[in-house]
Structure 1
Amino acid sequence: MGAYELDGSPYVLERAALQELLDVLRAHGYTTVGPQIEHGAIVYDELHRIEELPIGWTDVQEGGSYRLERRNDDALFGYNVGPHSWKRFLSPPLRLLWRARKTEDGFEFVVDEEPPPRYAFIGVRACELHAIQQLDAIYMAGPATDKDYQRRREALFIVAVNCGKAGNTCFCASLGTGPGVGPGYDIALTELLDGEHRFVAVAGSVHGAEILETIPHRSATDADIALAEATIAQAARRMGRSLETAGLKELLYRNIDHPRWEAVAQRCLTCGACTMVCPTCFCFSIEDATDLSGQVAERWRRFDSCFTLAFSFISSGSVRTSAKARYRQWLMHKLAAWQDQFGAIGCVGCGRCITWCPVGIDITAEAAALRAEESGQLQPEPAAV
């Protein structure tokens, strides 16, 4: 499936067939996980029935603002993205690395040989699929492989969904990461709501094709395919944001000491919300612990954020003590240094960091301001006194 068009041999699934898809996946030993409404937001959790999906709901997002709103139809996937990302299932926020028990001769390591969970993700958006591929590059393509991530990833089944609407904080189209899903899925769906509620389905893997064959379907007509392509193209035209990527890394490196960093620091709360909701941020810390008897020692890996003082703490103290230093570190890494490390921008355009920032700091606006100020189109903001 290309960025904005369908190819392969598309099928059409009726709405009721989605429940059969869940049932088949669970019969194959997968734990199906998908979007649900909880505490006023769309989150990802174990999914048993399509009635648990956010039927007829959409999300309205702006900088520092998120709310759910009723649609005028019964769309199953008529929203964009919520605060959750799929990384918490592939790289859990808290993970035991090893455990050792004291013996007469020292310590004996206890090996955890439990098989990895077999997840089937339902409703993965194009930006999120790209984010998973970014995590693949981080955890599996480097000199060291995260074995736990690799096992979870290799057991994963992905049911992707093309976006039929764009959010006000979305900018995937300008990054080439959506709104149509690219390679890497097992099954991709496009929801059509033109009076007949149905899904155009495409297999992206041999296993995906095998699963699809067990679900009631018909071959997609030219009209079905054309409407699916038009649905994705319409979402692309209605992006709420954009990010110009040409020369972005060089732009940021040239402006590492620009007063703009101080200006944004006056607003930044250094809460780390942007890193927690980001589907690609991967900072973590290592913690050692023992039980009260001193007989058991453990090492844990915990999600962390470059916005915390402790994250850059060395023997002489924290390296990045100011909000300016910590925000600059995050944005420079995400949009510039990430390219040096992994060959791609570390952002997929989902817009979560804009929506869930308590003060609505906009990563696209900050990058655009640096570009405009450098070209003389915008006067720089004064530094804080």
Structure 2
Amino acid sequence: MDDIRILEPEGLDALIAALHERGYRVVGPTVRGDAIVTGDIYAASDLPQGVGDTQQAGAYRLRRRDDDAYFGFADPAQSTKPVFFPAEEVVWRGRRDEGHFTVERDAPKDQAVALLGVRSCDLRAVQIHDAVLADRPFHDAHYVARRDGTFTVAVACGEPATTCFCASMGTGPRPAATNEQTGEPAYDLLLTEVMAPEHRFVLEVGTERGREVADAFDTTRAGQEAQQEAIAVSDAAAARQTRGINTDTIHDVLRASAESPRWDDVASRCLACTNCTLVCPTCFCTTIQDTSDLAGDNAERHRVWDSCFSESFSYIHGGPLRGDVKARYRQWITHKLSSWQDQFGMLGCVGCGRCIAWCPVGIDITEEAAALGRMATAAGAAS
């Protein structure tokens, strides 16, 4: 859609107000404690203006920038995943009364969400969840209810962390205009924050719904020159990324590496703490917890996030299928970068780098993938 405009920084308040006026719950990046997290946004002052982040293997820190950038950080500590797929939710409630037992299914609130400032990697993760949780014959009703009617204001990334590798995964730093699975528009509006020669946003309209919202506040019409300026910001961010995964070979590398000695090496370092899966924007494993009151008259079934790094996750017929850390790490990375593609026609990793930053011992998925590739190549040459 060839509709490009300039939005001045003070216009962010008008954009947020326009979304609220249309009944959306606006969620986006905000500072909470010592991290940037996804939370409710009521005004531009809720955004992390002037705040950047430093992310390295096993380390995450906020820092004060020397400018007033609103989106001058790599990505929030947690993605938008909990917005549509919360860490814990009630599936149903049951009550026993005078010999009868009634069950009431829990229903999410029906207020539509506007994602503000969602990064390309996290937007791609939402699209992956759409394919996994919403577009199959047996869909996740709670996810679909929360996801329905979402308005998306994406922000192209200009400040990658050292842990980012979205460029190699084809998931950023600039979001694709269309969802590669469905062909539908990927966002309603796209913002690119440009800091020089003056602070402003290049706004690109992705849908008619986005155009209607953009018409509600003051912008200046622009052309292809402004769009090229925006693309240059993302291109520079991609050029600064130093990590990557070879997506052309990793699927087959992992299929050939089931007995690789590398698994013993990584298992000697991995704590099986589940951090990587809890911050991953695409992981969707869950378990069920049933609770009741002391009288036994009221019961609830909760769905909570689980992790394939947990020994109990694969517990079946008296024991776990993956009883050691080696097997659990192998399951995780093989699913992300190989069998996920077999299941869903795409990779399950978007290159956000959170699993690297939030791993207490700094295990790096890109290095593990590269090491497995080198060992597979060497084994092939030897044979």
TM-score when normalising by structure 2: 0.94
CA contact (8 A) 2:107 2:142 kept: no
1:11-44 CA-to-partner distances (Å, cap 9, x unmatched) read 1111111101111111111111111112211111
Query: Where in structure 2 are the equivalents of 1:131-210 lying within 5 Å?
Result: 131-182=125-176, 183=178, 184-210=186-212
1:12 maps onto 2:6 in alignment: yes
Per the alignment, residue 23 of structure 1 pairs with 17
| Stretch moving more, 169-178 or 61-70 | 61-70
1:285-338 CA deviation, whole Å, 9 max, x = no partner?
011222211112221100111111111112312222211111111111111110
Which amino acid in the other structure matches residue 326 of structure 1?
Answer: R
Stretch of structure 1 that moved more, 67-76 or 273-282: 67-76
Aligned equivalent of 2:350: 348
Contact residue 61 and residue 167 of structure 1 kept, 8 A? yes
Among 48, 71, 75, the residue aligned to 1:81: 75
> Aligned letter for 1:346?
G
**Matches of 2:294 and 2:341 in 1, distance apart?**
45
- The DSSP-based 3-state class of the residue aligned with 2:63 is strand
Q: Identify unmatched segments of 5+ residues in structure 2.
A: 179-185
Work out the CA distance in 2 between the residues paired with 1:286 and 1:377: 42
Look up the SS of the partner of 1:280 in the other structure: coil
Q: Distance in 1 between matches of 2:96 and 2:34?
A: 47
Q: Could you give the per-residue CA deviations for residues 256-303 of structure 1, whole angstroms, max 9, x where no partner exists?
A: 011100000000000000000000000100112222111122211001
Instruction: Tell me what 2:45 maps to.
Output: 51
- C-alpha separation in 2, matches of 1:327 and 1:358: 15
**How much identity, in percent, do the aligned residues show?**
45
2:278: which partner in 1?
A: 276
Letter in 1 for 2:76: G
- AA of the residue aligned to 1:206: E
- The 1:193–1:316 alpha-carbon spacing in structure 2 relative to 1, beyond 3 Å, is same
Give the equivalent residue in structure 2 for 1:262. Answer: 264
1:67 corresponds to which of 53, 56, 61: 61
Residue in 2 that maps onto 1:382: none
For 1:4, the equivalent position in structure 2 comes to none
CA distance in 2, matches of 1:140, 1:86: 16
Deviations 1:124-180 (A, max 9, x none): 011111000000011112231111111111131111000112221111111110111
Instruction: Name 1:240's counterpart in structure 2.
Output: 242
**Contact 1:85 / 1:128 at 8 angstroms: preserved in 2?**
yes
- How many residues are matched? 374
Q: Partner of 2:325 in structure 1?
A: 323
Query: Partners of 1:173 and 1:63 in 2: how far apart?
Result: 18
Residue 103 of structure 2, aligned match among 109, 113, 117: 109
Partner of 1:303: 305
Equivalent in the alignment of 2:291 = 289
2:77 alignment partner, SS class: coil
1: CA distance, partners of 2:330 / 2:378: 22
Secondary structure of the 2:131 match is: helix
Distance 1:24 1:82 in 2: 24
Structure 1 residue matching 2:378: 3-state secondary structure: coil
CA gap 1:318/1:252 in 2 versus in 1, 3 angstroms: same
Alpha-carbon spacing, 1:279–1:90, altered in 2? closer, same or farther (3 Å): same
- State the match for 1:357 in structure 2: 359
Deviation of 1:62 after TM superposition, in Å, equals 1.1
Q: Select between 212-221 and 350-359 the one with higher mean Cα deviation.
A: 212-221
Q: Distance in 1 between matches of 2:81 and 2:227?
A: 31
Partner deviation per Cα, 1:40-60 (whole Å, 9 max, x = no partner)? 111111111212211112111
Secondary structure, counterpart of 1:329 in structure 2:
helix
Q: How does 1:117-132 map to 2 (within 5 A)?
A: 117-132=111-126
Q: Where in structure 1 are there 5+ consecutive unaligned residues?
A: 1-6, 380-385
Whole-Å separation in 2 of the counterparts to 1:53 and 1:328: 38
- Compared CA separation, residues 286 and 254, structure 1 to 2 (3 A): same
Alpha-carbon contact 2:91-2:105 (below 8 Å) kept: no
1:219 aligns with: 221
The answer to whether the 8 A contact 1:287-1:301 is kept is: yes
Give 1:173's aligned amino acid: A
Deviations for 1:180-237, whole angstroms, at most 9, x for unmatched residues?
A: 1112111110111113211111122221111011110111144422211211111111
**Quick check: 97-106 or 347-356, which moved more?**
97-106
Cα deviation for residue 111 of structure 1 reads: 4.1
The whole-number CA distance in structure 1 between the counterparts of 2:55 and 2:125 is: 20
State the shift of 1:378 in Å.
12
Q: Which moved more, 1:224-233 or 1:337-346?
A: 224-233
CA contact (8 A) 2:256 2:376 kept: no
